[in-house]
Amino acid sequence: MEAVVPVIRSSEAVVHEIHGARFVSYASPRSGSRELCAWRGEIPAGTKAPSHTVDREEVFHLLAGELLMTLDGRAERITAGDTVVVHAGSTLAVENPGGETAVSWVTTSVGLRAELADGTVLAPPWAN
C-alpha cells in the first residue's frame, strides 16, 4: 500500500485572527500533522499582542519586518532572518513598533496552550 503524502496547498491554509494579528495555519491535526503545527503570523504595524505564557516550546522565525519580543521580561529587537526559541513555561509578548507588517513562521508541537496575564487559557486552533 502506498503512503499518502499530505500536501497543504496555500489555498487550503486556514486563517484565524486574534489580538489584531493573522495566523495562517498550514500544518495541524486538521491538515494531517500528527506531532507538529506550523503557521505564518502576520503582525501589522503598531500591534502589541498581550503577554502570554506557553506550555510548549515554539520556534519563531521572522521572515519580514521587525518585532520587539519580550521573553521572560527581557526585550529583544529582532529583524528578518532572526529566530527565537521560546521554551515551554516562558512568558512572551510580541510588539510590532515598525511601519510595516511583520511576517513570521512559527512551529510548535500539537496541543499548545497559552495563558494570558488575567488567567485566561487559550487553545489556539492553529496549534491544536
Domains of the chain and any CATH numbers: 14-127 (2.60.120.10)
Rounded to whole angstroms, how far apart are CA atoms 71 and 51? 9
SS (H, E, C) 14-83: EEEEECCEEEEEEECHHHCCCCEEEEEEEECCCCECCCEEECCCEEEEEEECEEEEEECCEEEEEECCCE
Sign of CA dihedral 36, 39, 45, 46: negative
Read off the pLDDT band of 3 (50, 70, 90).
low
Handedness of CA 43, 60, 40, 62 (dihedral sign): positive
Rounded to two decimals, the pTM is 0.91
Write down the residue that cell numbers 529583544 correspond to: 76
- 89-126 tens-digit pLDDT: 999 999 999 999 999 999 999 999 999 999 999 999 99
